[in-house]
Amino acid sequence: MFTFTDNSFIEAGVVILILIPSIIVHEVSHGFVANRLGDPTARNAGRLTLNPLPHIDPFGSLLLPGMLALAGAPIFGWAKPVPVQPGHFSNPTQHMAITALAGPASNVVLAAILARLVYPSLSGIPEEIVLWFIFLNLLLAVFNMLPIPPLDGSRLLPLVLPERGREIYQQFEQFGFLILFALLFLFDGSLDFMSDWAINLLDFLIV
């Protein structure tokens, strides 16, 4: 893995500065697509903005990612979720899946733009910072595609589950955060594959 400093505090700060805009783009993309599909909830709440203030969660966007970066643990964080009301959709199951996919897709697109347009013509920007920006966006995309509530990947399973399966899965949603924290902090190395996938995607993009 690449590094840009031996100072863990500086590195943690840079990681947070990269994560904040990346997570905001992710959340705004959810709201934008939901609005296009007929749900104006995020727009009416003033969440279709790149201004970080309406989106930042002090713990999930700042404190937790910083602590994880300092500890050398898998980086995990979130912004305030953009509100979505599936009742506004003409096809709630399908449109929720499309809305969910918009978040990871936005991070992949952002990473691709940086890899294809910014990285080849670096001028005054440290190479390692750009690589970290690309890597963290790809990591966000991979992480959010895990089929564990409330991550975006969990919104895809109802597309293939029968009605009874959807009901059981909805009951399982309340334990999603507990499962995520267990994977992150109790089962060491269980999510290492995410970094591997993100690095493989990064290598593909910058070829």
Residues involved in catalysis: 27
Check: CB of residue 148 under 8 Å from CB of residue 128: no
Strand, helix or coil at 164? helix
The token duo for 64 is: 């937790």
Contacts of 196 (CB under 8 A, 6+ apart): none
- Quickly tell me which residue has 């002090």 as its tokens: 58
The one-letter amino acid at 81: P
Strand, helix or coil at 1? coil
The token duo for 44 is: 């009416």
